[in-house]
A and B are shown apart, each in its own frame.
Chain A
């Protein structure tokens, strides 16, 4: 879902940067407040893993592929969507400047979609569901919905940019990311959360596990 430079006119691309910057700033404030010697290695390992897995496109049929975004996973582990914004911002900076994956002018929009929207929707869906469904189902649904909603936002941005027609754009983006979100986002997120819960439950933010066990 990395928007290239040519898909959004400069004037609009700047607006998405203006929207992205306060979130980047807040994510740095989060880092100052929350990170310590214990959490830095976890953050770095997750960021490296997410960069690598974003290079692994999974075929979804219809001549289309997709990959994990990862903001929801990071947000769930650290108990804050700001952690997802921080990691995705760093990943998108390297992808854009070193590999030309996602534009430079459109990086603001990509940070808003993949860092902010998919992370916030993913995290708060997870938080709302976890006591009812347990953390496995909640992390699956949260990550899946986060990706789907961010793709819908992307389709609307493409319409505003004059690049996609509204309905056909929404239908195509929604359909593809509904499937990508299922495999690439929901399943991988749930698997990683389960693995960490088994091996290192102490790593999950206390908000993740606090009431867990009552229903699960």
Chain B
């Protein structure tokens, strides 16, 4: 296989990957279950209510700009935007780090 052809094919894989990732990111706020995840659900079962409430009230170590994948006051649009921003951020960081690290 010609190297340049194959490199182009891998860029195609990247574009296909970006499109799939963005579609998932846009659909996620509408499709995702709002039920607690496995760890939160287990916590609800095994920790007594008062202690759990106290843990949930406690301040996180650091305030994040878009807690819970949402933008304050922006509803579903904000959620879509938050997850799309996150997806592009991970894409950029991993691409940049990969380029820096490669031989």
Listed in ascending order, the chain A residues whose CB lies under 8 Å from chain B are 1-7, 28, 31-33, 35-53, 55-59, 62-67, 87, 90-91, 93-101, 103-105, 151, 154-155, 158, 163-165, 168-169, 172-173, 176-177, 180, 200, 202-203
19 more contacts with CB within 8 A, not counting A48-B88, A90-B97, A99-B67, are: A4-B55, A31-B102, A38-B6, A40-B98, A41-B17, A42-B14, A45-B16, A48-B90, A59-B35, A62-B41, A63-B36, A66-B37, A66-B38, A87-B94, A94-B86, A98-B85, A169-B42, A173-B39, A176-B42
Residues on B with C-beta less than 8 A from A2 are: 37, 39
Residues on B with C-beta less than 8 A from A44 are: 14, 17, 91, 94-95, 98
Listed in ascending order, the chain B residues whose CB lies under 8 Å from chain A are 1, 6-7, 9-11, 13-14, 16-18, 20-22, 24-25, 27-29, 31-39, 41-43, 45-47, 55-56, 58, 60-69, 82-83, 85-91, 93-95, 97-99, 101-103
Residues on A with C-beta less than 8 A from B20 are: 49, 52
Q: Can you report 6 residue pairs joining A to B where beta carbons are below 8 Å apart? A: A5-B60, A44-B98, A48-B18, A100-B63, A100-B68, A173-B38
